[in-house]
Amino acid sequence: MDNYSQSNLIIAGVGGQGNIAASEVIAMTAIKSGLNVRIAETHGMAQRGGAVHSMVRYGKKVFSPLIPEGDCDFIISLEYIEGLRWLHYLKKGGMSIVSTEKRLPYTVSAGFSEYPENPEKIYKKYGSAIFINALELARDAGTERCANIVMIGAFSVFESFPEEDWLISIKERFRGKFMDINQKAFFLGKKAALTEVKQK
């Protein structure tokens, strides 16, 4: 990104998927490039398996922690359909980076509503989109719990922050064994996104 523009991200997912940790790793990496950061998070009642999101903004000067509708550059969806709730925020030329992990909301498993049949088509209607099998890659890295960092790895392909900074941020955010697993997860996500991009 150049010195004058600003990047706006929405990380959407399900409570318990590591949404806040993901937004912190991105923010900490942006800070290392000398940028100012604001994050808006969801806490409390909204957790417990409900739909959650955080908004991350960075640039030379950032005012609001909330992203205006229509001004979002990236949607990172930690679950297959959660990003759909925020697609109307995406600006022209914006991009969705989507985990194909499905978590059925109760409303679906109980039969009140239907899980969208072809989310890929909807994402692509609003901008470019890539799809990452984050759950499988996370298992390869060592635990399902690092799927959020797989997605960060995928996102890193589209932002010009140095790889080293990403790894340091992960190191600062996670301790011990989990740090190694998360660094591995980051690389698996990055590789998967690069493969996706090359295929296009």
Partner 1 sequence: MVKVGSQKGLGLFSGNEAIAAGAFEANVSLGTGYPGTPATEILENLVLYPGVYAEWCPNEKVAVEVALGASFAGYRALSTMKHVGLNVASDPFVTAVYTGVNGGLVIVSADDPGMHSSQNEQDNRHYARLSYAPMFEPSDPQEAYLMIKEAFEVSERFDIPVLFRTTTRVAHSRQNMSIEGLRKDREPLFVRSAEKYVMVPSNARKRKKDLLIRVRRIKEYSESTDFNFIELNSHEVGIVTSGPAYLYIKECFPEASVLKIGFSYPLPEKLIRKLAQEVELLLVVEELDSIMETEIKSLGINCYGKEFFPADGELTPGIVADGIIKAMTSLKQKSYAIGWTSSERVEKIPERPPVLCAGCGHRNLFYVLKKMRAIVTGDIGCYTLAVNPPLSAMDTCVCMGASIGEAHGFEKVQPEESKKKVVAVIGDSTFVHSGITGLVNAVYNNGKSTIIILDNRTTAMTGHQDHPGTGVTLKGEKTVELDFEKLAKAIGVKYIAVVDPYNMKETEKALREAIEFDGVSLVIVRRPCVLIEKKKKPPYYIDEEKCTGCWVCLRLGCPAISKKGDKAEIESYMCTGCGACEFLCRFDAIHLVKEKTDG
Are 23 and 11 within 8 A, CB to CB?
yes
d(CA 44, CA 127): 32
Are 93 and 129 within 8 A, CB to CB?
no
CA triplet 132, 92, 27: central angle to 5 degrees?
55
Which one, 91 or 191, has the nearer CB to partner 1? 91
Q: Does 109 contact partner 1 by CB under 8 A?
A: yes
What residues between 10 and 29 interact with partner 1 by CB under 8 A?
14-15, 24, 27-28
Q: Is 92 helix (H, G, I), strand (E, B) or coil?
A: strand
What residues between 137 and 196 interact with partner 1 by CB under 8 A?
144, 172
Q: Does 111 contact partner 1 by CB under 8 A?
A: yes
Q: Using the rule CB under 8 A, which residue among 5, 33, 60, 70 binds partner 1?
A: 70
Which one, 87 or 154, has the nearer CB to partner 1? 87
Q: Using the rule CB under 8 A, which residue among 5, 33, 66, 124 binds partner 1?
A: 66
Q: Does 115 contact partner 1 by CB under 8 A?
A: yes
Alpha helical stretches, state H, 105-175: 106-109, 119-126, 134-141, 147-156, 163-173
Position of tokens 């969705």?
A: 96
| Phi, psi of 131, rounded to the nearest 5 degrees | -125, 130
Q: Using the rule CB under 8 A, which residue among 85, 159, 165, 178 binds partner 1?
A: 85
Q: What tokens were used for 64?
A: 């609001």
Q: Does 87 contact partner 1 by CB under 8 A?
A: yes
Would you tell me which residues interact with partner 1 (CB under 8 A)?
14-15, 24, 27-28, 31, 36-51, 62-71, 81-82, 84-85, 87-91, 104-116, 122, 126, 144, 172
